[in-house]
Chains A and B, each alone.
Chain A
Amino acid sequence: MFKITRKKELGPGVKLFDIEAPLVAKKAKPGQFVILRIRENGERIPLTIADYDPDKGTVTVIFQEVGKTTKELGKKDEGDSIADFLGPLGVPVEFLNYKRVLAVGGGVGVAPLYPKVKMLHQQGVEVISIIGAKNRDMLILEDEMRAVSDELYVCTDDGSKGHHGFVTDVLKQILEKDTDFDEVIAIGPAIMMKFVCKITKAYKVKTMVSLNPIMIDGTGMCGGCRVTVGNETKFACVDGPAFDGHLVDFDEMMRRQSIYKDEEKLALERAEGREHKCRLT
């Protein structure tokens, strides 16, 4: 069992957990992820590592409550435990001799973006960051990102904070004036990453994305996470999750992410129905 040592609500339905897993904390690097399972008969879900503390022996994960499992996870409290926690999985990212980086994060995608930006900052790299969310309440890690970025732009879809619009608007404005970046790092919903890549391709700036397809084992065994990158099939769990965004077939990835849409809906409805019944008795 793996104990939750800290719980923090970052926004409506967006939660942060520190989970006690000393060996994972010791090995974790930016760009890696874990797979967890709450209990017997639960599903295995991948979550990117948002931070880690080898001294305390904890790994930080941030997630948005969207389906049955993430909603159930969100109900766990400090001191509670989850059954399984596997990691660190995936290939860590490396930045060699970078001078300037443009970081773009959308929604809970800011969570996996943060450790990368933090590492770059520690390496003395100049980082300009753009983060966005649906509204000001859903915006996460603003202070943390500001602390490790040389410049930080904030966007909200509804204009409740910062630029009224998408991260891609700001990205375009920046690139229009200045394309002198070693790399753009973009992490967020697939649709956001797709449009970021469209823009950066036009401005010829190398772009790294971090993909989050459906996974089971996370060790290369099932192939459920396969994505097409540059006309080659890759397994996001062992070959990624970071890839050259200009080569990723995002449409295929989004289609594959939606395979179990109906089942996910059913599971959620059932879970909520059951909960409702519980209150009656």
Chain B
Amino acid sequence: MSVDLSRREMPRQDPKVRAKNFDEVALGYSKEDAVAEAKRCLQCKKPMCEKGCPVQVQIRDFVKLVAEEKFDEAIKKIKETNSLPAICGRVCPQEEQCEKYCVLNKKGAPIAIGRLERFVADYEQEKGVEVPKPAKKLGKKVAIIGSGPAGLTAAGDLAKLGYDVTIFEAFHEPGGVLIYGIPEFRLPKKIVKEEAHFVEQLGAEIKTNMVIGKILTVDELMKEHGYDAVFIGTGAGLPKFMGIPGENLNGVYSANEFLTRTNLMKAYKFPEADTPIKVGKSVAVVGGGNVAMDAARCALRLGADRVYIVYRRSEKEMPARLEEIENAKEEGIIFKLLTNPTRILGTEDGWVKGIECVRMELGEPDESGRRRPIPIEGSEFVLDVDIVVMAIGTSPNPLVPKTTKNLKTHGWGGIIVDEETMRTNKEGVYAGGDIVTGAATVIEAMGAGKKAAKAIHEYLKNK
């Protein structure tokens, strides 16, 4: 039998239409697409794809179940190790994870594992998520700080094992970056709510409006509130700015603020929702990662006529997913590559009127292995914009590390952990996700949450 190399495309909203709405861009496989795609799987004896999955989804087996149209069993198989499949199916960079290791990748047509995962997760959500049987309680309490991907994963795994799990979230809604950061058109908030709810159904309790480090400290949780272990998954929430003149002008946003207003606070529905946002006619988003793409695409949907991505290296070095770069381009985002802002120009009354940039060229590779961008002297030029969004990265939120006695951190703020167990230097305290690595991906955070849950179980089992 010959190998089927025709990877099924997933339908997407037309770029012209979707650039004006916040509905999901990718529309998902039909049943026929899913089955046909799953049937291409070679069912390798040693499934290499699984090696690429930080949360150990049993990919080969679930794909086989999809091929056999046993969707209920397929989702059960995924959920044995992954409580957030509808989220993973949408935002995991599968091309860097499972699909990268698929043997068919060599032929340029890896199985579309992410799309299949999404298909079965959506199938289940549509028909009603099966409530798992509550686990037998072990009588031990674990506190999870932060309800982002790391926290939800750790909470789900520990609840399944029978721990009394409480998730503490500072915002008014659970989900962390999945709620405030990733836009509706890439990850509908309904999906996040449903998967967070699933973690609650597994037995975890979610407490919102709880800013740990202020209302309670990690030490108090353990000493006064009876938690036997704590997992810190508070993310990389602190926005970075460039330190160039004009960054405090009216109309300059951090990507965090721009996205939080848009996504969590639903500023795209203003005035129906109360939180406003300024978009103007012309927007420059500085940065080349997924966050920059998200901010640029939000700006377009909020009504900007022209949206630029300003990035100091070339497209090859962009950290954003290829898929997101393509989506952005299709929608009409203008890429100003090898371009670096030098200052933001303001009107007399203090509003942004332009961004001065310098052109760059690539020199020798730097410590990141990417070619270092070097300014070309005298090549300064001005882009006329009225909004600037800084999407040049974030650093770990110091609220919890600073208020936890003797917790060791790196100079840049990340919590120091043992990489196998995610254990910190403090007994019973574990950490994972962006608070440990600095800004990274949803799936890596989930992988860390999973490792920590396993290690917490080992620790508490013997305690």
Q: Is the CB of A252 within 8 A of B170?
A: no
Q: Is the CB of A216 within 8 A of B266?
A: no
Q: From residue B244, how far is it (CB to closest CB) to chain A in Å?
A: 11
A224 neighbours in B (Cβ, 8 Å)? 253-254, 257
Q: Is the CB of B276 within 8 A of A260?
A: yes
Q: Is the CB of B172 within 8 A of A83?
A: yes
Interface size (A, Cβ < 8 Å)? 42
Among the listed B208, B238, B269, B270, which residue makes an inter-chain contact with A220, where contact means beta carbons less than 8 Å apart?
B238
Known: A27-B214, A233-B247, A255-B349. 17 other contacts (CB 8 A): A44-B172, A83-B172, A85-B209, A86-B172, A87-B214, A87-B215, A88-B215, A216-B261, A216-B265, A217-B171, A219-B237, A223-B241, A224-B253, A259-B250, A259-B278, A260-B278, A266-B271
Interchain Cβ contacts under 8 Å between A and B, 16 examples: A44-B172, A68-B274, A84-B208, A86-B172, A86-B211, A87-B211, A88-B215, A216-B260, A216-B261, A219-B397, A222-B256, A223-B254, A224-B253, A226-B248, A233-B241, A267-B271
Does B350 belong to the interface (CB within 8 Å)? Answer: yes
A68 neighbours in B (Cβ, 8 Å)? 274
Does A147 belong to the interface (CB within 8 Å)? Answer: no
Does A41 belong to the interface (CB within 8 Å)? Answer: yes
B269 neighbours in A (Cβ, 8 Å)? 41
Q: From residue B260, how far is it (CB to closest CB) to chain A in Å?
A: 5
Q: Is the CB of A221 within 8 A of B272?
A: no
Q: Is the CB of B274 within 8 A of A41?
A: yes
Q: Is the CB of A43 within 8 A of B274?
A: yes
Known: A84-B172, A88-B215. A41 touches B273 (CB 8 A): yes
Does B17 belong to the interface (CB within 8 Å)? Answer: no
Does A124 belong to the interface (CB within 8 Å)? Answer: no
Q: From residue B21, how far is it (CB to closest CB) to chain A in Å?
A: 19
Does A140 belong to the interface (CB within 8 Å)? Answer: no
Among the listed B170, B214, B398, which residue makes an inter-chain contact with A88, where contact means beta carbons less than 8 Å apart?
B214
Interface size (B, Cβ < 8 Å)? 41
Does B399 belong to the interface (CB within 8 Å)? Answer: yes
A216 to B172, alpha carbons, bound, how many Å?
11
A233 neighbours in B (Cβ, 8 Å)? 241, 247-248
The 10 closest A-B pairs by CB, nearest first: A263-B276, A222-B257, A43-B274, A223-B254, A221-B237, A84-B172, A41-B273, A255-B350, A43-B275, A223-B239
Q: Is the CB of B399 within 8 A of A219?
A: yes
Majority SS of interface residues in chain A? mixed
Q: Is the CB of B260 within 8 A of A217?
A: yes
Does A42 belong to the interface (CB within 8 Å)? Answer: yes
Does A228 belong to the interface (CB within 8 Å)? Answer: yes
Q: From residue A234, how far is it (CB to closest CB) to chain B in Å?
A: 11
Q: Is the CB of A238 within 8 A of B399?
A: yes
A5 neighbours in B (Cβ, 8 Å)? none
Q: Is the CB of A41 within 8 A of B215?
A: no
Interface residues of A in 78-128 (CB under 8 A from B): 83-89
A270 to B278, alpha carbons, bound, how many Å?
19
Interface residues of A in 23-48 (CB under 8 A from B): 23-24, 27, 37, 41-44
A240 to B247, alpha carbons, bound, how many Å?
20
